[in-house]
Amino acid sequence: MCRHLAYLGPPVPLARLLVEPPRGLYEQSWQPRRQRHGTVNVDGFGVGWYPPEPTIALPSPGAPGGTPAGPHGAPAARAGRPGDGAGDPGFPLPARYRRALPVWADPNLADLARTIASGAVLAAVRSATEGTTPDESAAAPFRDGRWLFSHNGAVPDWTRLPTGLGPAELLALEAHSDSALLWAMVAGRLRRGEPPGGALAAVIREVAAARPSARLNFLLTDGRTIAASAWGDTLWYRLRPGAVVVASEPDDAVGESLGEWREVPDRSLLLATTDGVRVIALRPERKDTP
């Protein structure tokens, strides 16, 4: 199955996160070391990244040398705050670059990765599950407003999975794949205001109750926080002062030493910011849970 990675920290060129690490996501596309299912990840890849957030306090509109006014006289941009939604004009929405090629076969990636820097990134290399869309629409990250999402895993018999989604939501799926379906379930909860960790945990419980052998390693970010799950495949993280990476597997080479990488136990939820990481055990579905 796929490998994926999310990063929050000081802006770095995408190449430093994805291409340069000797055991990084780039190499994991043809030689993953810890992947539990599948062998290579050559059915596409995707990178999502956030532009820098405005951090300077902007003078009020009309002040000498002030910011050009946006529509209706509002400032054209303002600094976002944690918890702000996509409706905040200052909240930086992410960009994506996705292809249906093996990552090494893309002639554009080297230049893009060398020249684009970001402090918030989510990327994935894909091993497509049988019967799913083969084109780039099924390559993670999926996006909804400020959210980026990736799924490493597979759901058996997913076309008949009870999801609670309505016909309009099902028709709006970006791709014919289990991952796109799971993303619609998660995104619906985020839109209803559920916190990211709660949305992932709820979808895992729901899907695992209907398909106990489903593999559900999720990665979700809004550019300021990361929520992730370990449910059937590997998950690791590395926290340094002011920077965190959450990834399917460590990217270090040195003598196979794991250095600062920590493994997340299976059946866990991980919540991370640049300040710290919390790992919470996920309990199986309980019938008496409201």
Angle, CA 148 vertex, CA 38 and CA 93 arms, to 5°: 150
Say if residue 276 is exposed, middle or buried (CB neighbours under 10 Å; 0-12, 13-18, 19+).
exposed
User: 223 has which bridge partners?
Assistant: none
Query: What are the E-state strand segments in 189-267?
Result: 215-221, 226-230, 236-240, 243-247, 262-263
| Contact flags string 18-47 toward ligand GLN, x per CB under 6 A | --------------------x---------
Options 138, 190, 219, 282; binder of ligand GLN; rule CB under 6 A: 138
Contact status: 229 vs ligand GLN (CB under 6 A): no
Terminal-to-terminal C-alpha distance of the chain? 33
Is 132 near ligand GLN (CB under 6 A)? yes
Tell me which of 28, 67, 152, 221 binds ligand GLN, using CB under 6 A. 152
Instruction: Name the residue type at position 77.
Output: A
Nearer to ligand GLN, 153 or 223 (CB): 153
Q: Is 2 in the site for ligand GLN (CB under 6 A)?
A: yes
Task: Choose the binding region for ligand GLN from 64-72, 177-185, 200-208, 270-278 (rule: CB under 6 A).
Answer: 177-185
For 135, residues 6+ apart whose C-beta sits below 8 A from its C-beta are: 44, 100, 175
Please tell me whether residue 186 binds ligand GLN under the rule CB under 6 A.
Answer: no
Contact range with ligand GLN by CB under 6 A, out of 5-13, 60-68, 113-121, 172-180 = 172-180
Token pair in block for residue 167: 């016909």
Q: Which of 28, 67, 118, 129 binds ligand GLN (CB under 6 A)?
A: 129
Residues that bind ligand GLN (CB under 6 A): 1-2, 38, 126-129, 132, 138, 151-154, 177-179
